[in-house]
Copies of this chain bind each other. A is one copy, B any other.
Amino acid sequence: MGSSFGRIFKLTTWGESHGPALGVVVEGCPAGVALDLADIQHELDRRRVGQSKVTSPRNERDQAELLSGVFEGVTTGAPISLITYNRDVDSSKYENLRDVFRPGHADYTYWAKYGHRDHRGGGRSSARETWGRVAAGAIARKILASVGVEVYGFTREIGGIAMERFERDQIERNLVRCPDPEAAERMVTAITTAKDEQDSLGGIVEARATGVPPGLGEPTFDKLDALIGQAMLSIPAVKGVELGGGFAVVRSRGSAANDAFYLDDGRVRTRTNNAGGSLGGLSSGEELIVRVAVKPTSSVARPQETIDMTMQPRTILVEGRHDPSVVPRAVPVVEAMLAIVLADLLLLNRAARIDWPAG
């Protein structure tokens, strides 16, 4: 259970880190969307390992095959199946982890739940699963683009080093996807230092969506905020999520926290955006702002105290190929999940009014 997400635009991911292949099935993509495999591959490449010295050296090309749902370059309304075969699998480093639980990982909890697990590379719990999310996110972006919505993301903070200025065009120009090139440089140094010390770093990723029409979200339990909450906290290593003012806004007063409405050239705007683009769980038309907390990578090549499946104490040292910080590679995953939530709510919104206007 739980491998599907979405109400109308619905993805189902499958596959294990060291299994033969990984994939995603996307249901509910409307017919008539021009879809090119290159659009999808572009996003997948942004998430790929082996990109630089700050990512895992595992070498996967992550090349997608498009197996259904598109005919002559256009979606047909049928489910879209995308698959990638694992190429550079090296399970040897995991053989000694077969019967032991790595701290910070899902080893123990999967074993407790299922009584049986694929221990190789984390199996199903591996972040490698996010391949399918990014592929689906690329499709979601095409739907969003049709109404002028754009999603982008960046690194706010890594290892305690926070960005101090925002230059959007800098984001993809450095290894950590930080809009502040100087902070980016310090982040890279921090990561390589941590790596040299057999350790790892966490950080904060922010994603934004512009051009979001007002009214997206479904009251009560499928609020925009709520679905973003589910989407973000379903990403491996994410331990927190906030919108707009988030945890900081709790220290302000209502009179300051409220965003005043005004009319800007015929469009309803707010003077501030503490709400982060969502009011009462529906999009307000302001920029949507989401931040997620990414914990430091759990795999560290240091001796750690743990137990094994026979309930004996053990000391382990987790080898294998890992990202010293997953934050930079989490950026496209966070973006993808935001795009998926928005595309789903956009399609769902068409049923909100009996006289729903086309578009």
Known contacts A1-B8, A234-B225, A282-B113; decide if A124 and B296 are in contact (CB<8 Å): no
Check B354–A351 contact: CB distance below 8 A: no
Q: Is the CB of A226 within 8 A of B230?
A: yes
Point out the residues of chain B lying under 8 angstroms from A194, CB to CB. Answer: 253-254
Residues facing B in A293-341 (CB within 8 A) are: 293-300, 302, 304-307, 311, 313
Is A211 among interface residues, defined by CB-CB distance under 8 A? Answer: no
B241 touches A67 (CB 8 A): no
Distance to closest chain B CB from A254 (angstroms): 3
Interface with B: A19-27, A45-53, A56-64, A167-175, which one? A19-27
Which among A31, A33, A65 has the highest number of chain B CB atoms within 10 Å?
A31
A67 and B19 contacting across the interface, CB-CB below 8 Å: yes
Tell yes or no: A151 within 8 A of B by CB.
no
| Complex CA distance for A276 and B233, rounded to whole angstroms | 13
Structural contact, A268 and B307, CB atoms closer than 8 A? yes
Please name all residues of chain B whose beta carbon is closer than 8 Å to the beta carbon of A103 when the two chains form the complex: 258-261, 270
Q: How many angstroms from the CA of A307 to the CA of B202 in the assembled complex?
A: 42
Interface pick from A36-44, A75-83, A178-186? A75-83
Among B21, B243, B351, the residue within 8 A (CB) of A348 is B351
Q: How far is the CB of A271 from chain B (nearest CB, A)?
A: 7
Complex partner residue of A101 from B80, B261, B311, CB under 8 angstroms: B261
Top 4 nearest A-B pairs by Cβ distance?
A106-B280, A2-B218, A113-B215, A2-B222
28 A-B contact pairs sorted by A residue (CB < 8 Å): A1-B28, A3-B27, A3-B219, A14-B68, A16-B68, A20-B67, A104-B257, A104-B259, A109-B217, A109-B278, A109-B282, A110-B219, A112-B285, A159-B251, A160-B251, A194-B254, A220-B234, A227-B230, A228-B233, A233-B241, A236-B280, A240-B243, A246-B293, A250-B296, A254-B299, A257-B296, A260-B304, A263-B311
